[in-house]
Chains A and B, each alone.
Chain A
């Protein structure tokens, strides 16, 4: 069980949230994108073994979206940041989001 610090509600169990997958994916212009670029946008994912920047939704709470940087091997939450923000520099202390 992950303990997630929602930017609005504070520390809650992860079962209150739903994960919206990889964050920071830029939508290409559909009028000019090639099939390959469009497929990349729709389907290809980094799926890293390590730090993943992902979107979360506090579905059973404030119903706000936000970003999280999380290690996919240890599940350690390295940072919680706003939905419109760029990924922060990670210091590796694991205290992100607190």
Chain B
């Protein structure tokens, strides 16, 4: 069914009782051309682009829980492309461009809102770093302009730009084309469209093993029985090491808990997103009125989706200083997701030493913005058995050659 104003009116007339299911819930077939492990945004987007761009629709997406129940449904939805290094800038920019046309392409409102993202500078070094990144972005054709404290105050009156502040705002930089999207809608939109094209989306189906014969994958073992596959693409985020190990691979990834939280809902006070690298705080406002607040990762390996309260405390201290208006608000909800951190803070979208096994992971704290772009290049990599130009550099081999893409300092609070 095509979603439109007419379908909405028709369904309203019937008191919304006849909306069809958005996607099927089939039992797995005995074999597929491609099996995707992980039904987060990246896995679902990969399946969609495999069918759409490469004509490969005999595909199953296997998800151990529910669609988007991993980091896709737990993130703070910042979408931007203002990265320092060319490799990252090109990949994230591709993704941002796909975001710009995504609702139309998927016939599903992913609520992409280009409300802009501002990065604050709190010291001389920050200012220089932002200027450097601004120039790098401009050379890559990506908008990213420096803004003064007064301009920032005009765009976002809730920022404290007082000279006496503990974290003085000396300036900032803004990507106007950046913004937010609705996380669940991205997963659901890709799922619905992939299903339309014949992809089987199978939830509550955990992959427990990967069968390899003569250095080539032959299939997966799952909680719903064995499934044969010519090729396997893994997009398991925080479980990258666990899934990699099933194919006999050691991964350069460590899993950490990353937390976020929302305040009680209030009237609109902020129509952009503001991030602070130095203080490690960022803030946006959801359509429901909650302030969406993000923190840093817990400092030790974890597969428990519960983080330490000390991280939240630390984050709220900075927040209250920078945005005094929040001091009397209550935190309504906090949660955590398990993010897959790479040593160079850049992702891996790559072939592996096991033939027919492809890995998409390491997006860490900032892969939501990459969802369409990552799926697009990963589908290409799987279909053609070689990377696209855009993800060539994000190869697993870079850890041997030393061609790391060090975005640690460059990522805007890394999200």
Q: Which residues in A have some Cβ–Cβ distance to B below 8 Å?
A: 1-2, 13-15, 18-19, 21-22, 35-36, 38-40, 42-49, 52, 54, 70, 72-75
Contacts and interface: CB of A to CB of B under 8 A. Distances in A.
Contacts of B251: 44-45, 47
Nearest to B300: A19
A54 B301 contact: yes
A46 B241 contact: yes
27 contacts: A2-B308, A14-B310, A15-B310, A19-B299, A21-B301, A22-B301, A36-B400, A39-B399, A39-B400, A43-B343, A44-B251, A44-B399, A45-B253, A45-B254, A46-B250, A47-B251, A47-B254, A48-B241, A49-B239, A52-B301, A54-B300, A72-B255, A72-B303, A73-B303, A73-B304, A74-B304, A75-B304
Interface residues of B, number: 22
Contacts, number: 68
A47 B255 contact: yes
A92 to B, nearest CB: 18
A63 to B, nearest CB: 17
Interface of B: 239, 241-242, 250-255, 299-304, 308-310, 343, 399-401
A52 B239 CA distance: 15
Given A19-B300, A36-B400, A44 B252 contact: yes
Contacts of A46: 241, 250
A15 B308 contact: yes
A42 B399 contact: yes
Contacts of A21: 254, 301
B45 to A, nearest CB: 25
Given A36-B400, A39-B399, A45 B241 contact: yes
A38 B252 CA distance: 12
A2 B301 CA distance: 13
Contacts of B241: 45-49
Contacts of B255: 47, 49, 72
Contacts of B399: 39, 42-44
B336 to A, nearest CB: 12
Contacts of B401: 35
A40 B242 contact: no
A35 B310 CA distance: 40
Contacts of A47: 241, 251, 253-255, 301
B348 to A, nearest CB: 11
A77 to B, nearest CB: 11
A31 B254 CA distance: 28
A18 B299 contact: yes
Contacts of A54: 300-301
Nearest to B313: A15
B308 A35 contact: no
Given A48-B241, A49-B239, A75 B253 contact: no
B310 A1 contact: yes
A49 to B, nearest CB: 5
Contacts of B253: 45, 47
Contacts of A13: 310
A48 B250 CA distance: 11
List of 10 A-B pairs having minimum Cβ-Cβ separation, nearest first: A47-B241, A19-B300, A43-B252, A44-B250, A39-B400, A15-B310, A43-B399, A39-B399, A35-B400, A49-B303
Contacts of B250: 40, 44-46
Contacts of A38: 400
Nearest to B240: A47
Nearest to A21: B254
B304 to A, nearest CB: 6
Contacts of A1: 308-310
A48 B399 CA distance: 20
